Chains A and B, each alone.
Chain A
Amino acid sequence: MTDARPSLADFQARFAASLRKPEDGSALSLFSPSERIPLARRFDVYRNNVHASLVDALADIFPAVERLVGRDFFRASARLFLADSMPSLGTLMGFGDGFPEFLDRFEPAARLPYLGDVARLELLWLAAYHAGEAPPVDPGALQAGDDPSGLCLRFHPSAALLSSSWPVFQIWRSNREDAEVMPIDLDTGPDFLMVFRSGGEVRIASLDLGMHAFCEKFAAGAALGDAAEAAAAVDTDFDLVAAFRFILSSGAFAAPLSERGDTCHVQHL
């Protein structure tokens, strides 16, 4: 090529386009000829760096998914995912957010219907791991006032809920922790989970139906009275004392923003 030297913007547009289209050799004219090693093979080093590093990043985020499907299947799936889901931030924060939905739709994985939910749990684990700090709720904050039903409880910044039709916690736990994965009966779902951090450690609580309804209400910004009512509606044996012990001891709840029920519109972020 004898064309004029491209502008930096043009150079990068052509370089970037060729990075993502391996059959596209148009970027090669951007470089000086190479005597020994063909330019295409040199450019492949960048293609490989980009794709291998991002597939590695996905493997770091989704180790249980990788173990479930095996390395080859995982890496092949991850490369297909990248076609539409390259990261947008230099921190890689948020990268992989669409992977659970990709797996839900991914036909070769159709016979592993729980796979997307395992990926969701891994994303929540990661979010909890990196979430901000906040003081946990203390008994004093809950005791204030005569009528606690208006109290607005707030999740810790690390806390989030996940419900799944599958025994996703067992699947996740065994694939992350066990040297040999244990047999799991898929009929032992559904799972209602809360992922949160206590101190520096990520924890996962398996909630019963009532506790799940209770926590879901808080996640939606409801007050204590509403949450207790929702829990009792799905579970007549809902144990309010145990629920409060969980709130006070788990670390999953942060100190309330307000002690006044009438300002309880705060959505958990």
Chain B
Amino acid sequence: MMKGNEAIGEAAIRAGCRFYFGYPITPQNELLEYMARKLPEVGGCFLQSESELAGASMLYGAAAAGKRVMTSSSSPGISLMQETVSYLASAELPAVIVNISRGSPGLGRITPAQSDYNQATKGGGHGDYNILVFAPASVQEMMDLTMLAYELSDQYRIPAMILGDGIVGQMMESVVLPEPVETIPEKSWAACGCQGRERNLVISAPFTDEDLIDLNRRLQEKYRVIIEREQRAEMIHTEDAEFIFVAFGIVSRLAHSVVDSLREKGCKVGMIRPQTLWPFPDDAFNRIPRAKGVLVVEMNEGQMLIDVRLALNGRVPVRHYGRGGGWVPSPDSIEAEMLKLMEEVEKNAVSL
């Protein structure tokens, strides 16, 4: 058994990450401390930075050198790191950033929340860019999606984020440890001294106006490929489901228990559980042929809701159940919301 936060650290090391830079903030300190203990054992480097600004830039430097790197924080610290995330996107550097998010805005409280959905999935910093965003719902997925994050981040030269919450970060659960990665892909673009080759530049400030427009075009082309190939979602009883939950992270587990209990009562309910939040699994919403109503449950005021609405494009009525600020819905209340939606639809009293 492992804590979710530690599982991320273990997976990172197994994925070949040897460089961690970060600044303490609850509720993700177990990850920082895990890396502080474990990285020296495998010849890696742990460095506690003077701020999230500096930590993210250290990450940028080590990523530019071609290494697998990690930093982690929680919501207010992630806001500070957005400066570098935009640079990483522009310089097309792979890096894995972990956000064990908390109740916000402002300092907020360390209670679990999903209020950073928009920040994570719509770029977060300045500019037309996206990063991969993974939403683990279990400790096992903390490991598996971290391994995947490194693989895809390298493959596409794009930053990746693990977006968790305090519950998944703090909980312990049994895990099957993934096999360590044997070989990390060669990075011919890395800035590590130009012996025997032309020099490499890792830059985010092209020299001409046209160069920057070209960079943007190239990024968008890459994003299109990723959207096409890398959407991931778990489909639960969606083949015959008439009413469908959409939930990610810890909320999906609460909603899953409601799917079980409503199925026992004979209700045809199911769930789409996005595992990637960017790219958002739009395609999953084309595979719910019998859907009459969709209930988005999230620990925020309606952020994923917008992506669900876009994916459905008016085909099915969508309702939202959620609050920000560190509120966790109980399975009973989730069930009640679904029953309400079902009743509205049956009475034909529902609008889009």
A joins B in a complex: no
Residues on A facing B (Cβ under 8 Å): none
Residues on B facing A (Cβ under 8 Å): none
